[in-house]
Amino acid sequence: MEKIRKAVIPVAGFGTRFLPATKATPKEMMPIVDKPIIQYIVEEAVASGIETIIFVTGRHKRAIEDHFDYAPELEYALTKSGKEEYVNIIREISDMADFVYIRQKEQLGLGHAILMAEHVIGNEPFAVLLGDELIINNENPGIHQLIEVYRKFGKSVLGTTEVPKEETYKYGIVEGTFIEDHIRLVNYLVEKPDPEEAPSTSAIIGRYILTPDIFNALKRTPFGKGGELQLTDALMTLRKDEVIYSKDIEGIRHDTGNKLGYIKAIIDFALERADTKDFVRELIINKARELEG
Ligand code: UTP
């Protein structure tokens, strides 16, 4: 079975839900405390054995390329001013993996973004990670849990979690048959269904292992919801030719693609970190007292 060596991270979206912050700054560069969201995603991929990261980018996304590049002027200035501890921190970011950048010239959807990576992926299975979801599991990273399922069955695997019925309209929804604990054989997929039409409450949460057959499936799939080429629709096309599995990912999940989820993620992370937790805990307790009057 082929090793999963490459991961595609699509970052070409407009990030409209975070305007005006995302007018000139990629939403993937927004920090959770002091680390940009995209770095957590890359760290998850690297901790799962990924060697090459393929970013599908668009205009106004240069900050992402700079973040994963060396910064010699900054390193020099930090060394000169005796702040060597930061030099390692910023250099390690660039040394984590090989980074490849591909432009998606028109934002025609997530499926279209994945298709842009075809010539770099070639004919091997690969991972996809979206920056909207942070999945924290230090023992077994989210994408690694899917790689384990791929190793067993050799087919595409979708990362899922249960969501409240009224939230199905935000996700690709999977209907499947359990074959093992937390693992389903996928029967049917639908992109962002209304709650009354949702076939289940099992939602795809931005982690995928895909066989290279997805590229042909994408080419055969018509543009769908929102006039975009939807990855979920292409997975349904792929499903007609080969089996697909889904796996409920274990870990703490943060939906950072919307404002409330983003705020919650920052608070949760700040409450975990040694350098911020006491301050933030006290702040929250005092604030709660103040609000209760
Ligand atoms: P979203 O639907 O969350 O879009 O895309 P978005 O632009 O990032 O955010 P909003 O909805 O406007 O606030 C899911 C993922 O797919 C990527 C996005 O960058 C994001 O990681 N994407 C989406 C592309 O790379 N290209 C596209 O054409 C569409």
pLDDT tens for each residue of 35-49: 999 999 999 999 999
The answer to whether the beta carbons of residues 115 and 229 sit under 8 Å apart is: yes
pLDDT tens-digit readout, 219-261: 999 999 889 999 999 999 999 999 999 999 999 999 999 999 9
Q: Quote the pTM value.
A: 0.95
- 13 CB within 6 A, ligand 1: yes
Distance CA 62, CA 263 (A): 25
| 10 Cβ inside 6 Å of ligand 1 | yes
Pocket test for ligand 1, best of 22, 132, 207 (most atoms within 8 A of CB): 132
Please give the domain boundaries of the chain with CATH numbers for all domains.
6-256 (3.90.550.10), 258-293 (no CATH)
In this prediction, residue 132 carries a pLDDT of 86
d(CA 64, CA 12): 11
pLDDT of residue 17: 93
Does the Cβ of 192 fall within 6 Å of ligand 1? no
User: What is the reported pLDDT for 248?
Assistant: 98
Roughly what angle, to the nearest 10 degrees, separates helices 72-80 and 84-95? 160
216-120-7-57 Cα dihedral, nearest 10 degrees: -100
H or E element that contains 274? none
- pLDDT of 1 above 80: no
- Interval 118-137 mean pLDDT: 95
Average of per-residue pLDDT across 109-117? 97
Closest of 145, 41, 159, 59 to residue 99, by C-alpha: 41
So what's the pLDDT on residue 60? Answer: 83
